[in-house]
Amino acid sequence: MNEGKRTVRPARTMVGAQVSDRVIITPVLIALNVLAYLVTVFQAGSPMNNDRASLFTATSMIPELTAQGEWWRVVTSGFMHFGLIHLALNMAVLYVVGQHVERELGKVRFSAVYFLSLLGGSASAFYFGTVCQQLAGASGAVFGLMGALLILWKRQRRDISTIVVVVGINLVSNLFTNASLLGHLGGFVIGGLLTLAMVRAPQQNRNLYQIGAVVAAVVLLGVMFALRAAQLDTDAEVILEIARTCRPN
């Protein structure tokens, strides 16, 4: 009499991802950001004034140009950085936080949280911000990952005081720098809420619930972009005149 072999199910994290110590997406994202920075440095001939590069100008977030149809900027701006210090700070946080979040969420969910947080930062700055701004940096996505880690550690009943302090310091520092507070907050909120939805999804049909949360986030951000673009289009002449006086050289 042959006994059937028992099927061993792979261990899963709290969101349903397969447990793995391999971290792939985080180093790939860091490499892409560093590569983009090096290209702008080469074009501008300066590691600190790389925002003068043609690639930076063509891909950073400039509201009036975005509203006129250059929508790639809402994503590509997340891979541009104002100088070496800006890049180093964001990549350091991405390296530390990204590894923890990627292991818990898995590659697909982690990628969704990262890029929707990036879009959340862009949407927040675009919708609530002024036209006199040029936005760049992975800060929205990085803050989204910090929001995700806050939810994950809270769910695991771990001490979240360190994350709260780091987020608080970074937000307060926005008041004394040219960093976009709106962009940081937008990424943090989207990353935190999306991760919360993934964590709280019931085990039965969990993937369906999580996909629904992602779709809802995409719709929300799409509506924000569309409404603001319509407003800027309505006031196109005034907006363009203002933009000529405040756009960086």
pLDDT of residue 231: 85
Q: CB atoms < 10 A from the CB of 71, how many?
A: 14
For 175-203, give one letter per residue: b (16+ CB within 10 A) or e. eeeebbbbbbbbbbbbbbbbbbbbbebee
pLDDT of residue 17: 82
| Annotation says 46 is catalytic | no
Please answer whether residues 15 and 105 qualify as being in contact, where contact means their C-beta atoms are separated by less than 8 angstroms: yes
pLDDT of residue 158: 81
3-state secondary structure of 61: strand
pLDDT of residue 174: 56
Amino acid, single-letter form, for residue 100: H
| Annotation says 81 is catalytic | no
pLDDT of residue 44: 94
The pairs formed by 86-93 with CB atoms below 8 angstroms and a separation of 24 or more are: 86/137, 87/33, 87/34, 87/37, 90/33, 90/137, 90/138, 90/139, 90/142, 91/30, 91/33, 91/34, 91/138, 93/142, 93/145, 93/146
- Compute CA 82 distance to the chain's CA centroid, rounded to the nearest angstrom: 16
State the angle between helix axes of 139-155 and 83-128 in degrees (0 to 180), rounded to the nearest 10. Answer: 80
Instruction: Please give the chain's pLDDT, 249 residues, in tens.
Output: 455 555 556 788 888 788 888 899 999 999 999 999 999 999 999 999 999 999 999 999 988 889 888 999 999 999 999 999 899 989 998 999 999 999 999 999 999 999 999 999 999 999 998 877 888 999 999 999 999 999 999 888 887 777 777 777 766 665 545 567 888 999 999 999 999 999 999 988 999 999 999 999 999 999 999 999 988 876 655 555 555 555 543
Set 77, 81, 117, 184: catalytic member:
184
Set 86, 139, 161, 173: catalytic member:
139
Amino acid, single-letter form, for residue 125: A
